[in-house]
Amino acid sequence: MDSYGLNTDHNSFTTAQPTFKPELLVPLNGWKTLHPNSTVLDSADAVYFGLQTNFSMRARAMNFPSSDLKRLVDLVHSKEKRCYLTTNILIYNTELIELHQTIELAHDSGVDAIICHDLAAIMIAKQIGIPFHVSTQANISNELSARFYQELGAERLILARELDLQDINEIIRKIKIPVETFVHGASCTAVSGRCYLSSEIMGFNPEFSANRGKCVQPCRRMYTFKGEESEVIQYEPYSGMFFNAKDLCMIGHIPELVKAGIRAFKIEGRMRDPRYIEETAKCYREAIDAYFDGSYNQEHVDGWISRLESVFNRGFHLGFYFSKPSLEDIERTIRGNQAKIRKIHIGEVKNFYPKSSAVEIHLVKGQLKIGDTIIFENQKDFYFEQIIDSMQVNGKPVKYTEIASSNAPIFVGIKTSARIPKTARVFRLSSRS
């Protein structure tokens, strides 16, 4: 398996040297992703998102209300970016009317394309006249499948994740429409999807189906092998979280991806927080631009990887681009997030005072000091990050607080440049020791 760094052994593609920059496609996780200080739309060329209907493969994300769609599209288009709506789950007969209404709303609201794979969604998109991109859920892994969707009218194909770069390049050379692939983010143990483990482990309940966007992620859990007489097989390769794939990270291989002819680079993360989405988008924006201005080098790659390690990740691997994943690409011992910077919940907002532009925090964990980075965030639509430069306890300026706990909370006043809602929770960023 290749390292994350530069590699020139995979550049022998027959595609002519591209003169276009690939589109950088970035996920949205609700309105808080687009908070007032967000840089997402500065970094992205396009965004993709779901609505609060039944049709998104991330049903548990903070999807947008249908009533907000026109406002969202107008905002994205005002920044001269493109927006794509996900309608990419399996569709049942009872949902066809609602699906038609959703796609029609997307068309009327100015959505640039829908992402889909069920032929019902494709047929409705064609009937309504909205462009469609075929999801990786369709598992397009050969040129005949690619030509089928091209002839059906697709404007873009998101290829199966099981393909290596040579396979991708061969398909690109045989079709006329752009190809998109994932370059960063969580990897499913079923690779391109079509997983039934979540539904099965929850009693075959369709409310927990991965193919309906409702996966409970059983692949991220700890397992052991047992024999028919309940004997436990303990030796190492066969115990632990052996379904738990590391995250994809291709920032060290931007030249190979561009030279293969891939036209859109997709970041996974519609259930991630704004820090992850913003930082990941920034890194890949810089990497793409650096390749085209000639400044892409190993020093920059190392810096981008360090920054990507500071936000949510399960460790990194290179997917199928250069070889099939091995045991080293499964994280079997460390559960969940390995980010070098942790977001620690420390309290809640008690009051906001607009005249003094100050917020009162009910601190119930740890301590705060001048220079700390804190985040105010609610579940749906608010996110604000700032460095503390002014702080009071009991009306007196302090440089740091005492250590608070749930039994001994502290009320802290902090100057802020944003209007903080009383529904906000408070987090402190801390280096992982």
Residues of the chain with CATH 3.20.20.110: 23-193+243-329
pLDDT score, position 193: 60
Count the neighbouring beta carbons within 10 Å of the beta carbon of residue 151. 9
Query: Considering Cα of 13, then 184, then 3, then 295, what sign does the dihedral take?
Result: positive
Which CATH code of 1.10.287.130, 3.40.50.720, 2.10.109.10, 3.20.20.110 fits the domain covering 23-193+243-329? Answer: 3.20.20.110
Give the type of residue at 395. G
Residue 2: predicted pLDDT: 45
Q: What is the pLDDT of residue 255?
A: 96
Question: In the prediction, which pLDDT does 78 show?
Answer: 98
Beta bridge partners of 419: none
For position 229, what pLDDT does the model report? 75
In tens, the pLDDT along 137-166 reads 899 999 999 999 999 999 999 999 989 999
Asked if 1 and 323 count as a contact pair (C-beta separation under 8 A), the reply is yes
The pLDDT assigned to 55 comes to 85
- What's residue 325's pLDDT? 75
User: Cα(113)–Cα(129) distance, rounded to whole angstroms?
Assistant: 10
Q: pLDDT below 50 — which residues of the chain?
A: 1-2, 6-11, 14
CATH, domain range 341-431: 2.40.30.10
Helix intervals (H) in 110-186: 119-128, 143-152, 165-174
181, HSE (Cβ side, Cα atoms, 13 Å): 31
CATH 2.40.30.10 in the chain: give the residue spans: 341-431
**CA nearest 401: which of 353, 362, 350?**
362
